[in-house]
A and B are shown apart, each in its own frame.
Chain A
Amino acid sequence: DQQVKQNSPSLSVQEGRISILNCDYTNSMFDYFLWYKKYPAEGPTFLISISSIKDKNEDGRFTVFLNKSAKHLSLHIVPSQPGDSAVYFCAATGNGQNFVFGPGTRLSVLP
């Protein structure tokens, strides 16, 4: 059973609008979460993280929200740009060493 779920395999958004990518987890021991971005033929790259002691972390156009009671986190991209088109992976850890990854969401930002 997947411990980290991304229920939307794909998402299309108009350029300039907000992109919201969602992630749910089942393991209550997870206390640190990351988002990775992956372009075709490249490895995933770190985007933004959040610790369980916070409910929001912001970095430029990217904001991650964490709702611990719902075991849910989301990544907001505002405004979305065509260069944001990629696969986004949510990842979680309970020991700071091994991360469990979700299946990914393919974001397409349309010009």
Chain B
Amino acid sequence: DVKVTQSSRYLVKRTGEKVFLECVQDMDHENMFWYRQDPGLGLRLIYFSYDVKMKEKGDIPEGYSVSREKKERFSLILESASTNQTSMYLCASSLGGGLYGYTFGSGTRLTVV
């Protein structure tokens, strides 16, 4: 069974902390994505990557950065966590074509206090 695995289901961090969210996929997919999900706003794209060491800004990149050193791993970094970054974070991967969209991880519920 193909998988996208996010390292933590729940995280609580303090304001100002540097936060790392890890995502690993075992499907040899080229494309990887980070979204955040907020009520009434749906899924908003933070960053994405089409290849190793490649990254592109999504719709809401401010306050975030990413790292993709290996094809299977895509990390989201909150440089200095703030309370408005409390959200559900979803990682996804895709093969490159649109036929089946993305495979999503189970999500990380991040609370910044």
Q: Is the interface of A mostly helix, strand, loop or mixed?
A: loop
Query: Total contacts A to B, CB within 8 angstroms?
Result: 62
Interface size on B, residues (CB 8 A): 27
Q: Shortest Cβ distance from A1 into chain B, in angstroms?
A: 12
Contacts of A98 in B (CB 8 A): 45, 48
Q: Is the CB of A49 within 8 A of B9?
A: no
Using CB atoms, name the residue of chain A closest to B102: A99
Q: Which of B31, B42, B90, B98 contacts A102 (CB 8 A)?
A: B42
Q: Is the CB of B42 within 8 A of A93?
A: no
Q: Is the CB of B96 within 8 A of A41?
A: no
Q: Is the CB of A103 within 8 A of B42?
A: yes
Besides A34-B98, A43-B4, A91-B43, 7 new A-B residue pairs in contact (Cβ under 8 A), listed by A number: A32-B98, A41-B107, A42-B106, A43-B90, A43-B105, A43-B107, A96-B97
